[in-house]
């Protein structure tokens, strides 16, 4: 190969002013697309609830599907056909891009090859970013956002439930100190590599609202280009659910004070992890079927997967087990006309077509049965793929014969996937013919394992709640023995709290 052939292709000059978040003047003519390829997160913020999909919400952590890198590239092709005003391709979750470095970097590499004229952007908490700074620069990242909510670990300790660095989980001020240290490294390192940096700060009344100017001062010292103060969005079920959203007057005053230190973003839309289009003209709802198609999911008719739905009683409420749910369980459906699913008998002879999943957010099997209020019911579709059929609401904790009611309500499910469960519900469910499987991993990968459809890269990973879960997962995936990596995960469970091994 001669020198000409071996030379790297010359990249076109990219106009950094066409990033609509960094340049308000471009927000009406230049669009962005967020590619949801990063489901896992390495910290737990006390305001965050990552959802699989809610059609009525526009905020970080919400997405209609999660894509693999090549699926993201295909989605990018289709998005640009539908919306040629896109100038920025970004990765903003629904977890943290750098907690999913392989998927994030591979997606960036594919985009760099296919669309070198686009601006590339990442949004991260900064914890794992320092280790990948050179890769980000090499793959052409032009803009990055680091969310930093405190410049003082004592304040940060009240904002983050835990921080996970590799296999070590930290809590309290130790967690906040590590996170802040990495955030400083990330901001300075990004700037040293010529990457524009925006710092996001969630304003939480009574927690950090009197401290955000200190964050602005720190960001300015580190060389950040822009500061975005975002009002807290109280999410039900989170520790900050009852904290009031800051008033517009408070936000205006804080931004005025911050502007003396660092330029302030004032046109933020709190974008979803699958946002697409102009900031003022988001098309994520319109393009959700395209996203779902690229991710291997099929929208449930007019109602998108996970769309808020009406409730109806499934079977009698007398605990007799009559009807499809029995035991007083409620069923939430999409209300859409549902196509006849491919029955499980076409797969392996089991007449029960569905799988029930305990999930916080819908992306991963990550919820203890005792903490679940609803179960997601999935079914296989003709030609491959799966559809979220409905949600079933568990009997109340104080209901007599709660686990017997649940077992009757899952009579049409071949498996119940949970992160963990107690010995009593396990025994009751098993005695009623329900197969509880304790595991941890992406829902779609676990479904492939249960149905035996052989998804590429799918593997069952044990929940860290105990050795029994490892055996459960191996059984669900049809494995006779457990792999060494799974045993290693179980032997090294440093720290407490939620674990998501991928």
Domain ranges within the chain, ordered by starting residue? 13-289, 307-491
Q: State the pLDDT confidence band at 40, using cuts at 50, 70 and 90.
A: confident
Q: What is the mean pLDDT of residues 345-353?
A: 63
pLDDT reported for residue 329: 52
Which candidate, 288, 290, 267, 291, places its Cα nearest to that of 279?
267
Q: What is the DSSP letter of 416?
A: E
Is residue 390 scored above 90 in pLDDT? Answer: no
DSSP-based three-state secondary structure for 292 = helix
pLDDT reported for residue 475: 43
Tokens representing 62 are 């919400």
Residue percentage of the chain with pLDDT more than 90: 45
Task: Give residue-wise pLDDT tens across range 49-82.
Answer: 765 444 444 455 567 778 889 899 999 999 998 8
Three-state SS sequence of 29-53 = CCEEEECCCECCCCEEECCCCCECC
Task: Give residue-wise pLDDT tens across range 380-389.
Answer: 887 677 888 8
Whether residue 413 contacts residue 434, with contact meaning beta carbons closer than 8 Å, is answered with: yes
254-263, 314-323, 463-472: which range is least confident on average?
314-323
Residue percentage of the chain with pLDDT more than 70: 74
CB atoms near residue 41 (< 10 Å): 22
CATH class of the 13-289 domain in this structure: alpha beta
Task: Give residue-wise pLDDT tens across range 226-236.
Answer: 999 999 988 88
Tokens representing 76 are 């990018």
Q: State the pLDDT confidence band at 416, using cuts at 50, 70 and 90.
A: very high
Angle value at C-alpha 493, between 443 and 40, nearest 5 degrees: 35
H-helix segments, 85-144: 101-114, 133-138
Q: What is the DSSP letter of 296?
A: T
pLDDT reported for residue 271: 79
Task: Give residue-wise pLDDT tens across range 193-219.
Answer: 999 999 999 999 999 999 999 999 999
CB atoms near residue 198 (< 10 Å): 25
| Mean pLDDT over each residue of the chain, to the nearest integer | 77
At the topology level, CATH places domain 307-491 in Nucleotidyltransferase; domain 5 (3.30.420)
Angle value at C-alpha 501, between 500 and 502, nearest 5 degrees: 115
Q: State the pLDDT confidence band at 270, using cuts at 50, 70 and 90.
A: confident
Is residue 302 scored above 60 in pLDDT? Answer: no
């Amino acid at each position: 190969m001669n020198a000409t052939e071996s030379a790297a292709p010359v990249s076109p000059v990219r106009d950094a002013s066409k990033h609509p978040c960094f340049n308000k003047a471009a927000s009406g003519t230049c669009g962005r697309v967020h590619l949801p390829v990063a489901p896992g997160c390495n910290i737990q913020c006390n305001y965050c609830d990552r959802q699989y999909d809610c059609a009525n919400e526009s905020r970080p952590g919400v997405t209609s599907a999660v894509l693999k890198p090549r699926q993201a590239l295909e989605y990018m092709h289709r998005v640009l056909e539908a919306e040629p005003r896109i100038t920025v391709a970004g990765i903003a979750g629904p977890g943290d891009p750098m907690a999913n470095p392989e998927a994030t970097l591979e997606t960036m590499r594919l985009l760099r090859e296919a669309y070198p004229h686009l601006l590339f952007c990442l949004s991260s908490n900064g914890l794992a970013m320092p280790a990948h700074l050179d890769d980000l620069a090499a793959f052409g990242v032009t803009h990055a956002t680091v969310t930093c909510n405190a410049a003082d670990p004592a304040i940060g300790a009240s904002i983050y439930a835990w921080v996970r660095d590799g296999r070590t989980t930290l809590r309290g001020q130790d967690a906040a100190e590590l996170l802040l240290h990495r955030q400083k490294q990330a901001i300075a390192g990004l700037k040293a590599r010529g990457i524009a940096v925006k710092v996001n700060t969630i304003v939480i009344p009574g927690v950090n609202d009197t401290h955000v100017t200190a964050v602005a001062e720190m960001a300015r010292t580190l060389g950040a280009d822009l500061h975005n103060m975002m009002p807290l969005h109280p999410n039900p079920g989170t520790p900050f659910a009852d904290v009031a959203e800051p008033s517009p007057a408070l936000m205006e005053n804080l931004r005025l004070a911050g502007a003396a230190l660092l330029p302030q973003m004032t046109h933020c839309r709190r974008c979803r992890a699958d946002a697409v289009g102009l900031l003022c003209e988001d098309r994520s709802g319109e393009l959700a079927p395209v996203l779902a198609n690229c991710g291997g999911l099929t929208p449930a008719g007019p109602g998108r997967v996970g769309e808020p739905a009406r409730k109806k009683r499934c079977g009698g409420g007398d605990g007799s087990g009559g009807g499809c749910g029995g035991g007083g369980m409620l069923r939430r459906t999409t209300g859409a006309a549902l196509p006849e699913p491919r029955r499980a008998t076409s797969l392996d002879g089991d007449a029960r077509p569905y799988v029930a999943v305990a999930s916080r957010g819908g992306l991963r099997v990550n919820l203890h049965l005792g903490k679940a209020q609803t179960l997601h019911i999935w079914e296989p579709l003709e030609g491959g793929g799966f559809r979220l059929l409905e949600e079933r609401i568990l009997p109340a904790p104080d209901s007599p014969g709660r686990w017997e009611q649940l077992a009757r309500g899952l009579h049409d499910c071949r498996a119940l996937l949970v992160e963990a469960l107690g010995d009593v519900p396990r025994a009751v469910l098993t005695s009623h013919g329900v197969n509880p499987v304790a595991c941890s991993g992406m829902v779609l990968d676990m479904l492939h394992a249960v149905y035996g459809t052989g998804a590429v890269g799918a593997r069952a990973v044990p929940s860290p709640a105990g050795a029994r879960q490892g055996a459960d997962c191996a059984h669900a995936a049809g494995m006779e023995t457990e792999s060494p990596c799974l045993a290693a995960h179980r032997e090294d469970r440093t720290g407490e709290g939620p674990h998501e091994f991928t």
